[in-house]
Amino acid sequence: MQSLMRRAWVDIDLGALLRNGRAFAEHAGVPILPMVKADAYGLGAVCVSRALEELEPWGFGVATIAEGEELRQAAITRPIVVFTPLLAGDFDAAMRSDLTPTLGDAASIEHWGLATGGREWQLAIDTGMSRAGVPWTDVRALRGVLRRFPPQGAFTHFHSADRKDGTRGLQEQRFTDAVAKLPARPAMLHAENSAAVEHGADRSPWTIARPGVFLYGVGSGAPLVPENVASLRARIVDIRTIADGETVSYGGTYRAVGARRIATLAVGYADGYRRALSNRGTVLLHGRRAIVAGVVTMDMTMIDVTEIGCEVGDAATLIGRDGDDAIALAEVAAMGELSPYELLTGLRARLPRRYVATDA
């Protein structure tokens, strides 16, 4: 393991992951359907799913056939729902891996029903996201095919669940109205993502809830606050002192005022530490904060360590805790005016993952 940490790596706290999942489930009061798409938001879908088994989730959510296949190959046996619409050519692969598609038009529903003999699927209802699913106004037109091939469940997705602008209530009403127009009420109904549960009542009005980014340590400003799960660390590979007026990195955007000590970290935007953090980011080194000096490059990032004792080989924390201080992923995202979702999923595959388990 030590050899994997020679350059830069991500620490993933499975204990924190479980505590986040448990807090979410307790607040929702219903079974959970964790979203492990995009390789569990970049943290490793197989390891994350295996860890979440302790919470006895209803199933898991993915975005692609390949993501579902990976979980099946890892002996994950719970239901796996593919939330991105499938093309007809994907149906055979979905059947082979016992994946549950989400469908929203008569042709796809009939094709799936006839090809599979009526295997389980879920009805996607668009209540305002305008991304996928049958528009809530058009559900009645599907009554015929739905009588022949009834869905296991029906769901919608909120576009602004963290805002107090009335849109969540509007979407809930549209979803309720759409469900009332179905030939029969599905056994499963779900609508709530992370932000919806964080900002919602103590118990979900639906059958299950779908935690996503909350599991991985990103909250939306509600009283229900997740723990940090992913920490990004990188080693110092070079230290030099530059004179007054000397510059650092491309474009010379950092210019020394007086003699400055500059350390180079072996991590860059090809690893997911974004270029937007140039001259704006902050990292932790021996529990103290150091600023990013100059433009973040593809493989290296420079920091000003003039006031911090350090040497080549020391590890800096770009996301996470070091000593009494911590830099949350959301804070890093704010520094670069980035989405925390993009930052988390952008931590690239060439960064080894080290899984740790604090008391869960």
Residue 273 known to be catalytic: no
Q: Choosing from 37, 41, 216, 273, which is the catalytic residue?
A: 37
pTM comes to: 0.94
DSSP 5: G
Domain 230-356 listed as CATH 1.10.1270.20: no
The catalytically annotated residue of 41, 181, 250, 269 is 250
pLDDT digits (tens, 9 = 90+) for 56-111: 999 999 999 999 999 999 999 999 999 999 999 999 999 999 999 999 999 999 99
Are 234 and 277 contacting, i.e. CB atoms less than 8 angstroms apart?
A: no
Cα–Cα distances (Å) from 57 to 18, 50, 76, 322, in that order, read: 12, 11, 12, 32
Residue 355 is a catalytic residue: no
pLDDT over 70, % of the chain? 99
Q: Which CATH architecture has domain 31-216?
A: Alpha-Beta Barrel (3.20)
Which tens digit of pLDDT belongs to each residue from 260-285?
A: 999 999 999 999 999 999 999 999 99
CA distance 318 to 284: 6
Among 35-44, 132-141, 174-183, 197-206, where is mean pLDDT lowest? 197-206
Domain with CATH 3.20.20.10 in the chain: 31-216
| One-letter identity of residue 326 | A
Cα 110 from Cα 71, distance rounded (Å): 27
The phi, psi pair for 105, rounded to 5°, reads -145, 155
Residue type at 96 in one-letter notation:
R
38 contacts 345 by C-beta, under 8 angstroms: yes
Rounded Cα–Cα distance for residues 120 and 81 (Å): 10
What are the structure tokens assigned to 291, written together?
A: 């600023």
Q: Which ranges in the chain are annotated with CATH 2.40.37.10?
A: 230-356
